[in-house]
Amino acid sequence: MRIPKSHPRYESLIRREKLVRAWKAGIVVPEGLIAHGRGEAFDYLLGEETTAPALVAEKAAAAFLVRAKRPVISVNGNVAALASSEVARLAKRLPAVVEVNLFHRSDARVRRIVRIMRDAGAPTVLGLRPDATIPHLESKRALAHRRGIYRADVVLVPLEDGDRTEALVRMGKTVISIDLNPLSRTSRMASVPIVDEVRRALPTVEKFVRELQADPDETARICTEYDRRGNLAAVYSFLEWRLGVLARRPKAKPRATRNRRARR
Ligand code: ATP
Ligand code: MG
């Protein structure tokens, strides 16, 4: 389908199209399409823009990534379909290892996603031969690489499941999440929850990484002063404020009336 650029929801339709194409190519699973819908609903509530609290979290994430000794970016099907070049750019900049990690794991799908990430330019991509398991998680979801997530000190997990986020935090890692749902277990468990859309969040984190790589004092200050609870509270307050503004807005006139007026 050709989506006209003038469509008011052009960006959103393009993202859906990308995901459907990735599903046909065996990169995204149907469950991933449902998860995307949940994210879109929250993006509506947030105004489809990076909020001020998200910006604070993105800067904090950059600071922890810059200071990390073994940073890893975890990638699943949706992330590969929507933001492979953004992930690759951040991985190169840090540098960080990319590890493909799938909730609904099959070797064929891991192989396809590894290829996407390599083609996008990520310097090191793991996922094919996991040699470790994350404690407190069952079955294939626990699989990890010793050189990757298993021994990482800081893990960036875009669009991650709550259980896995919690298991990584329990291993003592600094877990940075990107999830549009501020109420998800992921957002509530992560050390640095970023409540923003993945394609908006990643380039912003990368921009802050570039700035902070040249400023170790500022990086250290941010790592000490970042307050995850305060930041998440600011996200909830933002939502409350936005809904309040919408509630006070005068009622929209019915479309027919508006059009008749415009023609006069
Ligand atoms: P949890 O297990 O953390 O309580 P969940 O079960 O909803 O939450 P998943 O089903 O794994 O988590 O889905 C991942 C989450 O990613 C979705 O809930 C959604 O909010 C979020 N999400 C989906 N698409 C995007 C996107 N493009 N950018 C950011 N977040 C997204
Ligand atoms: Mg879940």
Assigned token pair, 248:
């006070």
Q: Would you say residue 246 lies in a domain? A: no
Give 36-58 pLDDT, tens digit per residue. 999 999 999 999 999 999 999 99
Backbone Cα Rg of the chain? 20
Ligand nearest, relative to CA of residue 197: 1
**Overall average pLDDT of the 169-183 stretch:** 98
Q: Kindly state whether residue 42 falls inside one of the protein's structural domains.
A: no
Residue with the nearest Cα to atom 16 of ligand 1?
Answer: 159
Task: Decide if 24 is inside a domain.
Answer: no
In a domain, 98, yes or no: yes
Which atom of ligand 1 lies closest to the CA of 180? 30
Range of 150's domain? 52-235
Identify whether 150 is part of a domain: yes
The answer to whether residue 18 is domain-embedded is no
Tell me, yes or no, whether 77 lies in a domain: yes
- Tell me the CATH number at 136: 3.40.50.12640
pTM (global) more than 0.85: yes
* CB within 8 Å of 216: residues ≥ 6 apart: none
Q: Which residue is closest in CA terms to ligand 1's atom 31?
A: 39
The arithmetic mean of pLDDT across residues 195-216, rounded, is: 98
> Which atom of ligand 1 sits closest to the CA of residue 161?
11
> Which residue is closest in CA terms to ligand 1's atom 12?
161
Burial class, 67, CB count within 10 angstroms (exposed 0-12 / middle 13-18 / buried 19+): middle
Residue 260 counted as domain residue: no
pLDDT tens digit string along 136-164? Answer: 998 888 999 999 999 999 999 999 999 99
Number of independent structural domains in the chain:
1
Look-up of token digits 């073994």: 70
